[in-house]
Amino acid sequence: MDIYIARQPIFTRGKQIFAYELLFRDGTENSFPGTEGNNATSRVLSNTFFTSGIEQITGGKRAFINFTRELLIGKIPLLFPSQITTVEVLENVIPDGPVIESCRELSGKGYTIALDDFEYTPPMEPLIEISEIIKVDFAKSTREQIRAFADRFTCSGKKLLAEKVETNEEFEEALKLGYSYFQGYFFSKPQLIRRTDISALKVNILGIMSEVGKEDYRVGTLQKLIEQDVGISYKLLRYLNSPFYRRVQEVSSIRQAIVLLGEKGIKQFLSVIFLAEISQDKPDELLKSSIIRARICEGIGMATGGRIDPSELFTLGLFSHIDAILDNSMEDIMKTLPLTSEIKSTLTGSRTALSTYLDLTRCYQQASWDSALQAASTLGLAPDRLPEIYWKAIQFADSVCMAGT
């Protein structure tokens, strides 16, 4: 049985990563949590902690994991380190004696207890007392409920987590009310009132990218251009010498680096560097999500036989968040970037041969499993290829970000 796992970031008030919630699905039939939630959660925990390694999946951050009543009573969370496991008590768990006793024991042993999709009822009082984090669903709760939870719990030492926060306006509202953590895709939406002019940003990188794009580009010319920028040179060498590549011999020259990466590789590297430079005032997760998306698109392209150039799909995924990075409309940004017309059309909303690749990538990242499987079927991609593509993308993104982009 295939296990599909995705992660959703949880941010602090300063938009730094606090944790990731692990979202998962078992095979092509069941979404979780559901009627088979016990087996699903057990398999996910086994896959993440015992097989893949939680550090690879969450980048060393805390993991929020949903636990059913049976798993709580069975003390399953005790199998995992308390310092990286946040126990989410699902909203459909009845707070009876055994559940309360198990949660109290977990809390006493250093585990953080979080109440998922919180809705107040008097029987919840014992769990409220034990919990440290209360998750409020901004999509389901009324504005009055959102404010009432803030009034009650922020004064009592509880941390409120606003989930399904999809706009910057909702984030700002939760921030003002005293919420501590934030979950949703608000960070990947542009704040159009800000608008950043791309033409004034890192012209040198765009110049190098344009040079690589020439049919008759020469390694020597490119070498000189890169060597003129100390920052790019440093990041290029650090990237190629990172643990991700596991090289026996260190790469010590720009020329050697260019030859090793090749034309497509150097284009990808420069695109990532460019994106990193213009996203410095944005949450780190936005750049990381862009790189993950790029690598997934590329991986899908390779897994489907290369009908579409995988390097073009990499670029498509990489720039799919650029409206949020620059706080500008995708239409305006596409006028200034040296991208192919098909990538520009796709990113501005037209349906092209590239669109389904991006659809599949977005759906998988957001754990929209049914839509992801439908898109995979359209592309003729076996669903069991997706988890490997996803985890390789995460590892690649982590290695690039650690290299100092």
C-beta of residue 212 within 8 angstroms of C-beta of residue 270: yes
Per domain, the residue ranges of the chain are 3-188, 198-402
Residues 120-150: tens digit of each pLDDT: 889 899 999 999 999 999 999 999 999 999 9
**pLDDT score for 39:** 58
**pLDDT score for 197:** 52
**pLDDT score for 296:** 96
Report if pTM > 0.85: no
Section 68-81 average pLDDT:
85
Just give the CATH number of 198-402: 1.10.3210.10
Residues 212-224: tens digit of each pLDDT: 656 566 778 778 8
Task: Give the residue with greater pLDDT, 267 vs 69.
Answer: 69
DSSP, res 328: S
C-beta of residue 147 within 8 angstroms of C-beta of residue 120: no
C-beta of residue 296 within 8 angstroms of C-beta of residue 364: yes
Residues 165-203: tens digit of each pLDDT: 998 899 999 999 999 999 998 887 766 544 555 444 455
Give the total residue count for the chain: 405
Cα–Cα distance measured from residue 23 to residue 180, given in angstroms and rounded to the nearest whole number? 21
Cα–Cα distance measured from residue 115 to residue 161, given in angstroms and rounded to the nearest whole number? 10
Section 320-326 average pLDDT:
89
* Protein fold of 3-188: TIM Barrel (3.20.20)
Cα–Cα distance measured from residue 219 to residue 224, given in angstroms and rounded to the nearest whole number? 9
**pLDDT score for 25:** 67
Q: Which of 320-329, 343-352, 372-381 has the lowest mean pLDDT?
A: 320-329
Average per-residue pLDDT for the chain: 83
The proportion of the chain whose per-residue pLDDT surpasses 90, expressed as a percent, equals: 41
Cα–Cα distance measured from residue 204 to residue 32, given in angstroms and rounded to the nearest whole number? 48
C-beta of residue 36 within 8 angstroms of C-beta of residue 5: no
Residues 151-169: tens digit of each pLDDT: 999 888 899 999 999 988 9
Q: Which of 6-15, 23-32, 322-331, 363-372 has the lowest mean pLDDT?
A: 23-32
Q: Residue 396 above 60 pLDDT?
A: yes
